[in-house]
Amino acid sequence: MNNRHRHGAYGLLIRHVMAPAMDAIRGTQTMRALRELEDSQWWPLSRIEELQATKLNELISHAYQKVPYYRRLMDRADLRPCAIRSATDLSRLPVLTRDMVRTSMTEMRATDYPARKLRRGTTGGSTGQPLVFYSTLDDQRTHGFARGIRAMQYAGVDLGERRMLIRIQRHHSSSSEQMLHRLSRILENVHELDSRDITESTLTDIVSYLDRDDVRCLTGYPSAVSFIASWIEEKGTTVPALDAIVTGGEQLFTHQRQRIRTVFGLEPFSKYSTNEAFEIAMECEAHSGMHIAAEDLVVEIVDANGIPVPPGTEGRILVTNLHNYGMPLIRYDLEDTGAFLPGSCPCGRGLPRLSHVLGRRFDIIHTPSGRHVSGSNLGTNRLANMPVRKFQFVQEALDHLVVRLVAVPGTPDSDLSSMRSCIPPMLNKILGDDVRVEVTFQDDIELTSGGKHLLVISRVDPDSWLNKGPTAHSR
């Protein structure tokens, strides 16, 4: 169903008057980029790939001419820009890891972009090692924003329709930046809520805000959205009548999807975006995988050696953002795992799809006997069906796993002790008997500095499990 312009005169005013005015103030062309994206998504895949190849050629030439890092890299490999004609040629270049970006930071910036024209961003706070990168106004505010608006359209939410957005509050460097951010939020009609502010004492207000007639959509981390759903269920409060729920920023687990579906009566839309590349992929109304914004990005799925794997096979997700001319990141490893979904989508869009994204590649529990088990395989569905609000796995040592639980308030002691006794054997079946599983109850589980909930925290030195057992993690 195409909901475009459904909300009448106000929607037209936003789209044709206010948003273009915002573009003029910011010096961006978001609305032009949006119109192009609204059109190109319906093209056949071959035509989308042609557009992608043209943009990729331009980016590679730019990187060769203006970015010392790529000039050296390609000269050393005896490659000229004409050797990279399409996405399939990209594997001639090496994978770019976060560590490589850290080491070569200054050399990766384009020489024709003065520092004042670059926009600083950070990422990776959740792994404890933040990474600084740079993008441009055109990349972030024209193309990134346009992809973001199109992604919301997939959920039936158009620019200017009121929604609540759960995220960590960003710090905007200058006061003019802050003003622009505020203007932009007014225009988009977005009410921001910091994920760290979702507490027992604020939930009543949050839920009553969501119940307002004009609030159409809730967008946020899946852990936060499903936590709100659990709270509504527990309290027996009126369920807010929303039209759409969009989750992003973390992996959407099956148990979270089920809880959101059960409580709100809506199928959530999962979105994949990162700080470095902005919007990457979004689930459409067919709820069959996530469409990659292939007009603006090249997404590759590769094995441990950087070689592309066939559709349906899981691998590392690499992204090449075709609009960041300030600091091009080519074949950049997002440290997430995912797979392409073969075939075309029933919705008719030509954009390729990711079947799923399995979150951080480091969300893995390693065992003394060499097993590598993804956190999402540790009986999360069963845990979610216990009187538990939040849970987290902390691997303290190779042979010691702590399961942190936040129980539903008022859970009888007998239930707590039965959880304490039944969870360890359940996990030992998955991990093996050489891991001591300990269950602890806490009042809450802290969020990362990025406001996210981590499913797995590992305090184990990678040297203790590297080269032990199969490298592929069992699922």
Please, are residues 433 and 381 in contact by the beta-carbon 8 Å criterion? no
Per-residue x/- marks for Zn ion, 80-99, CB under 5 A? --------------------
266 half-sphere exposure, CB direction, 13 A CA radius: 23
> Beta partners for 404?
392, 440
Minimal distance in Å, beta carbon 153 to Zn ion? 12
- Which is closer to Zn ion, CB of 248 or CB of 306? 248
- Which is closer to Zn ion, CB of 286 or CB of 416? 286
Number of residues near Zn ion (by CB under 5 A): 5
- Which is closer to Zn ion, CB of 345 or CB of 447? 345
Interaction of residue 252 with Zn ion, rule CB under 5 A: no
Q: Determine the Cα–Cα distance for residues 117 and 70; give it in Å rounded to an integer.
A: 20
Minimal distance in Å, beta carbon 282 to Zn ion? 9
Q: Which stretch binds Zn ion (CB under 5 A): 68-76, 262-270, 282-290, 408-416?
A: 282-290
Interaction of residue 293 with Zn ion, rule CB under 5 A: no
Helix (H, G, I), strand (E, B) or coil at 274: strand
- Which is closer to Zn ion, CB of 345 or CB of 398? 345
Minimal distance in Å, beta carbon 345 to Zn ion? 3
Q: Which stretch binds Zn ion (CB under 5 A): 11-19, 343-351, 424-432, 451-459?
A: 343-351
Helix (H, G, I), strand (E, B) or coil at 426: helix
Please, are residues 160 and 15 in contact by the beta-carbon 8 Å criterion? yes
- Which is closer to Zn ion, CB of 217 or CB of 290? 290
- Which is closer to Zn ion, CB of 143 or CB of 349? 349
Minimal distance in Å, beta carbon 285 to Zn ion? 7
Q: Which stretch binds Zn ion (CB under 5 A): 280-288, 406-414, 429-437, 439-447?
A: 280-288
The encoded tokens of residue 240 equal 């807010």
- Which is closer to Zn ion, CB of 14 or CB of 290? 290
Q: Which stretch binds Zn ion (CB under 5 A): 254-262, 348-356, 363-371, 393-401?
A: 348-356
In this structure, how many other beta carbons lie within 10 angstroms of the beta carbon of residue 415? 13
Minimal distance in Å, beta carbon 258 to Zn ion? 22
- Which is closer to Zn ion, CB of 328 or CB of 350? 350
> Beta partners for 190?
163
Interaction of residue 217 with Zn ion, rule CB under 5 A: no
- Which is closer to Zn ion, CB of 349 or CB of 371? 349
All residues at 6 or more sequence positions from 137 whose CB lies less than 8 Å from its CB, including other chains = 26, 27, 28, 117, 119
Interaction of residue 347 with Zn ion, rule CB under 5 A: yes
Helix (H, G, I), strand (E, B) or coil at 411: coil
Q: Which of residues 392-421 bind Zn ion (CB under 5 A)?
A: none
- Which is closer to Zn ion, CB of 357 or CB of 431? 357
Please, are residues 252 and 266 in contact by the beta-carbon 8 Å criterion? no
- Closest Cα partner for 345 from 353, 337, 336? 353
Q: Determine the Cα–Cα distance for residues 41 and 272; give it in Å rounded to an integer.
A: 17
Minimal distance in Å, beta carbon 151 to Zn ion? 12
- Closest Cα partner for 341 from 313, 360, 321? 313
Minimal distance in Å, beta carbon 284 to Zn ion? 3
Interaction of residue 131 with Zn ion, rule CB under 5 A: no
In this structure, how many other beta carbons lie within 10 angstroms of the beta carbon of residue 202? 11
Buried b (16+ CB within 10 A) or exposed e, 87-126: bebbbebebbebebbeeeeeebbbeebeeeebbebebbbb
- Which is closer to Zn ion, CB of 269 or CB of 465? 269
Q: Which of 53, 286, 408, 416 binds Zn ion (CB under 5 A)?
A: 286
Minimal distance in Å, beta carbon 349 to Zn ion? 5
State phi, psi for 269 to the nearest 5 degrees.
-100, 125
Minimal distance in Å, beta carbon 2 to Zn ion? 12
Minimal distance in Å, beta carbon 351 to Zn ion? 8
The encoded tokens of residue 154 equal 């997939």
Q: Which stretch binds Zn ion (CB under 5 A): 23-31, 120-128, 338-346, 420-428?
A: 338-346
Please, are residues 338 and 35 in contact by the beta-carbon 8 Å criterion? no
Q: Which of 118, 198, 282, 284 binds Zn ion (CB under 5 A)?
A: 284
Minimal distance in Å, beta carbon 79 to Zn ion? 36
Q: Which of 93, 110, 345, 383 binds Zn ion (CB under 5 A)?
A: 345
Q: Determine the Cα–Cα distance for residues 408 and 191; give it in Å rounded to an integer.
A: 28
The encoded tokens of residue 34 equal 């949006």
Q: Determine the Cα–Cα distance for residues 251 and 245; give it in Å rounded to an integer.
A: 15
List residues near Zn ion by CB under 5 A. Answer: 284, 286, 345, 347, 349
